[in-house]
């Protein structure tokens, strides 16, 4: 692409999605990344490439350490409905969980969810495949661990989004990402990420009970047929 981009926010700053969206709309940011939704695809120019190869839709749960087996009896969606998840109020994940009949406890602020879980405001906190271990380590003062029993799975790609009307940048981003996927470079970068590598290695996916959920909010432009874009269970890193 011949361009470089900088990150305008302070490192580790807790920036809300609503602020990020506004900054893209006003031109403060050239693009953002977010889990897609019908609304985002209407209000912005989406780049139809799953940035994390779809693994944000593969959810492992953070639970209280003294309740690490709380989900051990879950074999299907009906079993899962006995337990209450916690999620961000505006997250696309929240809508997906609710559309599958789960009753979700919500918070406007992401950091609050860890303290709410520790305080037993809900039973489990679903996170993307590569997220939970680093998050548990970030809050050592809390009594938290990663559930070893289940994998909640739904199709929920994270895309880059540019300002509405900025099709030139959106197309340039897609062309570059597609080229990297076809050459294998993107897959190599994917496995070079320490958190992604750790998440796949530590998750023990083959021994987990998989709970498949439907995502009714996917649009018809979701590139499901482009298998080279998506993480495949059991694939060998290279």
42 has pLDDT over 90: yes
> Each residue of 170-212: pLDDT tens digit?
999 999 999 999 999 999 999 999 888 888 889 999 999 999 9
Give CA–CA dist 45/110, Å, rounded.
Answer: 26
Q: Name all domains of the chain by residue range, CATH numbers in brackets.
A: 57-153 (3.40.190.10)
Report which of residues 13 and 111 the model is more confident about: 111
Residue 5: predicted pLDDT: 57
Name the pTM for this structure.
0.85
pLDDT greater than 70 at residue 3? no
Tell me the pLDDT tens digit for each residue of 128-178: 999 999 999 999 999 999 999 999 999 999 999 999 999 999 999 999 999
Written in H, E and C, the secondary structure of the chain is CCCCCCCCCCCCCCCCHHHHHHHHHHCCCCEEEEECCHHHHHHEEEECCCCCCCHHHEEEEEEEHHHCCCCCCCCCHHHHCCCCEEEECCCHHHHHHHHCCCCCEEECCCCHHHHHHHCCCCCEEEEECCCHHHHHHHCCCCCEEECCCEEEECCCCEEEEEECCCHHHHHHHHHHHHHHHHHCHHHHHHHHCHHHHHHHHHHCHHHCEEEECCCCCCCCCCCCCCHHHCCCCCCCCC
Does pLDDT of 10 surpass 80? no
Is 136 in contact with 114 (CB distance < 8 Å)? no
In the chain, what percentage of residues exceed pLDDT 70? 93
Burial (CB count within 10 angstroms: exposed 0-12, middle 13-18, buried 19+), residue 234 = exposed
Tell me which of 2 and 191 has the higher pLDDT. 191
pLDDT in the model for residue 101: 98
- β-partners of residue 43 are none
Average model confidence (pLDDT) across the chain:
92
Least confident of 19-23, 68-72, 73-77: 19-23
Please report the pLDDT score of residue 167 as a whole number.
97
């Amino acid at each position: 692409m011949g361009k470089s981009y900088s990150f305008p926010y302070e490192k580790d700053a807790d920036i809300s999605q609503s602020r990020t969206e506004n900054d893209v709309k006003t031109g403060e940011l050239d693009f953002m990344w977010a889990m897609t939704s019908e609304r985002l695809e209407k209000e912005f120019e989406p780049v139809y490439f799953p940035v994390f190869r779809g693994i944000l839709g593969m959810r492992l749960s953070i639970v209280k350490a003294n309740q690490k087996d709380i989900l051990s009896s879950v074999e299907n969606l009906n079993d899962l409905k006995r337990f209450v998840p916690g999620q961000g109020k505006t997250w696309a994940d929240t809508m997906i969980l609710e559309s599958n009949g789960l009753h979700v406890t919500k918070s406007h602020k992401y950091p609050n969810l860890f303290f709410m879980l520790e305080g037993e405001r809900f039973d489990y906190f679903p996170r993307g495949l590569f997220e939970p271990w680093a998050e548990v380590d970030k809050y050592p003062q809390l009594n938290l661990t990663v559930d070893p029993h289940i994998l909640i799975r739904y199709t929920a790609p994270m895309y880059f989004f540019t300002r509405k009307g900025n099709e030139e940048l959106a197309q340039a981003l897609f062309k570059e990402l597609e080229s990297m996927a076809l050459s294998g470079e993107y897959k190599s970068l994917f496995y070079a990420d320490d958190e992604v590598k750790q998440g796949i290695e530590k998750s023990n996916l083959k021994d987990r009970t998989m709970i498949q959920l439907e995502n009714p909010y996917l649009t018809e432009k979701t590139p499901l047929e482009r298998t080279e874009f998506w993480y495949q269970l059991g694939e060998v890193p290279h």
